[in-house]
Amino acid sequence: MKAGRRHGLRRIGAVALATAVLAVAAHADQPSAASSEARTSRTGAQIFAHICQGCHMPDGRGATGAGHYPGLAGNPTLASWQYVATTVLNGRKAMPPFGLPGDQYSGFLKFVMVQLSDAQVADVVNYVRSNFGNRFKASVTAAQVAGLAHPGAASP
């Protein structure tokens, strides 16, 4: 490829990236479609489909490639509902927190991040603990989740 053409392609790529960033920034105060759907999801299965399956895969088997996304299928760590709920609330390693109050986000993060209620966290915890070959008791309540440490909450 000729040097001039290569330079032109780089310029086009940079312009496209800048345009995309500006478009996102222009709508940073508005929730994304994905986050809106997740906020209105009513069941653990819906929440999993809107948020979790992108990394953990629709079958819950996880993925490895650009990162490591642990499998939920047959995962013994799911025996502890507190571990699962705390992971959803606070994040773990590269997984973002979903319990951080929405007003803690600004700019781009406010546009893409999702905050789940304690009831939604309980629903998705119950879903992953009782699906994908997991047979753990699915009776975690919003009140139990509310008793766990939430990100951004003041320490006692």
Domain that holds residue 73: 31-146
Residues 51 and 108 in one domain: yes
**For residue 152, is it within any domain?**
no
Same domain, 63 and 130: yes
Going by pLDDT thresholds of 50, 70 and 90, the confidence category of residue 26 is: very low
- Does any domain span residue 156? no
Kindly state whether residue 153 falls inside one of the protein's structural domains.
no
- In the predicted model, is pLDDT for residue 19 greater than 90? no
- At position 136, the amino acid (one-letter code) is F
> Rounded to whole angstroms, how far apart are CA atoms 38 and 130?
20
Q: State whether 86 and 51 are in the same domain.
A: yes
Domain count, the chain: 2
CATH code, domain carrying 98? 1.10.760.10
Cβ contact 133:61 at 8 Å: no
Check pLDDT > 70 for residue 36. no
Q: Taking the model in full, what pTM does it have?
A: 0.69
Question: Got the DSSP string for 31-91?
Answer: --HHHHHHHH--SHHHHIIIIIHHHH-TTS--EESSSEE---TT-GGGG-HHHHHHHHHH-
- Please say whether the beta carbons of 109 and 24 come within 8 A: no
pLDDT tens for 61-82 read 999 888 889 999 999 999 999 9
**Is pLDDT of 8 > 60?**
no
With a cut of 90, say whether residue 4 has pLDDT above it.
no
Cα gap 67→94, rounded to integer Å: 9
Both 19 and 37 in one domain: the answer is no
pLDDT of residue 80: 96
Residues 24 and 35 in one domain: no
Q: Name the band, by pLDDT with cuts 50, 70 and 90, for residue 94.
A: confident
Q: Are residues 40 and 83 part of one domain? A: yes
Shared domain for 43 and 21, answered yes or no, is no
